[in-house]
Amino acid sequence: MSKVLYFNIADNLDYENKKLSEWGIDDVELIEIKDKDYKKSFGEYLRDTGADGVVVEYDQVTREVIEMCPNLKIVSLQSIGYNNIDVDAATEHKICVCNIPGFCAPEVALHTVAMTLDLARKITFYDRSVQNGEWEPLYGYTLHRLTGKVFGMVFFGTIPKLVAPMIKAIGMDVLVYAPTKTKEYLAEFGCKKAETLDELLEKSDFVSLHCPLIEGVTYHLMDDAAFDKMKPTAFLINTSRGSVVDEAALVRALKQKKIQAAAIDVIEDEMNETSDLFGLDNCILTPHAAFISEDSFYEGRERALKNLVDRLSAKRDGRPESIVNPEVLE
């Protein structure tokens, strides 16, 4: 019997156990532990349960944790990003790391467009003003028609492909910085290619981030130098990962009016739920909620469980569908 630890996961495991029954899987046991106070460390819980697999959302699966857990065979994420996992260490120890790419793409795409419209029409800013007893249609920055404006997207995966037609329907032109995509490929989606990030930053009226967090590549991609290249009338939208943006640099850019405003769904310190962005009058914040809907919630849970079952059950072939480090199966 393989054991799988669900640690501090939202809800209970009734849905997952029902799925196991429907799939005829009787050789995988799910263990649920909730301890928001961490009476023991995450690694100690994982070690002490003797888990063969683990489902995580935000906890860090570091090299230290991996080396504490000799039974571990798979780390399954209920997310697209996997920057909280030491993939190199996992690969060295023949541990599969599985994510669920695209599970919430429609939700994040719509959230991105909603943030765009909110910024363009000052919906949240007007609401704050009215709720504070002010009735001033000219409150805040100057509004402009969106027709012909440039919407810049950094990278072009599943989510941006859904964003592009909605943005174009609004009347904006879409510019994309995606080093691995050709201009011909982007043209198929009605988008133009920016050859450099600087070109995108200089030309865009909206800059929307859709890149994974990769150390040395996209970590603090948006820093002081990047904000200096943006138009003072431009907006930043981030629905990717908090640390793609140097948060201190963004705070400076907003306070110094280097850019007009920002809409942010992800912050750098989500474990402590704190940021210097809180309280800024030209920043809209949502609590890492872009992915949320009833549909994505259950799709994510089912796909994360399927990855585990595919790897651990004797009734499956041991090859999960969405594996970050497929070399461990060779």
The Cβ-side half-sphere exposure at 223, using a 13 Å CA radius, reads 6
Q: Please tell me whether residue 303 adopts helix, strand or coil conformation.
A: helix
Residue 252: burial class (beta carbons within 10 Å; 0-12, 13-18, 19+): middle
What is the pLDDT at residue 187? 98
Query: What is the pTM (predicted TM-score) of this model?
Result: 0.90
Own/partner pairs, 272-280, CB within 8 angstroms, 24+ separation: 275/247, 276/247, 276/248, 276/251, 277/247, 277/250, 277/251, 280/251, 280/254, 280/255
| Average pLDDT of the residues in 250-264 | 98
Q: Are residues 40 and 169 in the same domain?
A: no
Q: Are residues 168 and 297 in the same domain?
A: no
> What letter would DSSP give residue 274?
B
Q: Are residues 249 and 152 in the same domain?
A: yes
Q: Are residues 162 and 260 in the same domain?
A: yes
Q: Are residues 117 and 207 in the same domain?
A: yes
Catalytic residue among 93, 220, 252, 288: 288
- Count of structural domains, the chain: 2
Q: Are residues 114 and 183 in the same domain?
A: yes
pLDDT in tens, 61-84: 999 999 999 999 999 999 888 889
Q: Are residues 306 and 254 in the same domain?
A: no
Q: Are residues 126 and 70 in the same domain?
A: no
| 241 included as an active-site residue | yes
pLDDT in tens, 166-213: 999 999 999 999 999 999 999 999 999 999 999 999 999 999 999 999
Residues ≥6 apart with Cβ < 8 Å to 285: 263, 264, 265, 267, 275, 277, 278
CB 163 within 8 A of CB 112: yes
Range of the domain at 197: 105-285
Catalytic residue among 270, 299, 302, 316: 270
35 pLDDT more than 90: no
What is the pLDDT at residue 246? 98
Q: Which residue has the tokens 């799925």?
A: 19
Looking at residue 58, its amino acid is Y
CATH number at residue 205: 3.40.50.720
At 215, the pLDDT band (50, 70, 90 cuts) reads confident
Residues ≥6 apart with Cβ < 8 Å to 135: none
Looking at residue 66, its amino acid is I
Alpha-carbon distance values, 46 to 43, 131, 253 (Å):
5, 47, 42
Q: Are residues 219 and 245 in the same domain?
A: yes
| Average pLDDT of the residues in 118-147 | 96
Catalytic residue among 47, 111, 210, 241: 241
Q: What is the DSSP string of 32-69?
A: EE--TT-SS-HHHHHHHTT-SEEEESSS-B-HHHHHH-
Q: Are residues 177 and 218 in the same domain?
A: yes
Q: Are residues 153 and 243 in the same domain?
A: yes
CA–centroid distance for 250 within its chain: 18
CA distance 301 to 78: 6
What is the pLDDT at residue 272? 86
Looking at residue 201, its amino acid is L
What is the pLDDT at residue 10? 79
Q: Are residues 158 and 35 in the same domain?
A: no
219 pLDDT more than 90: yes
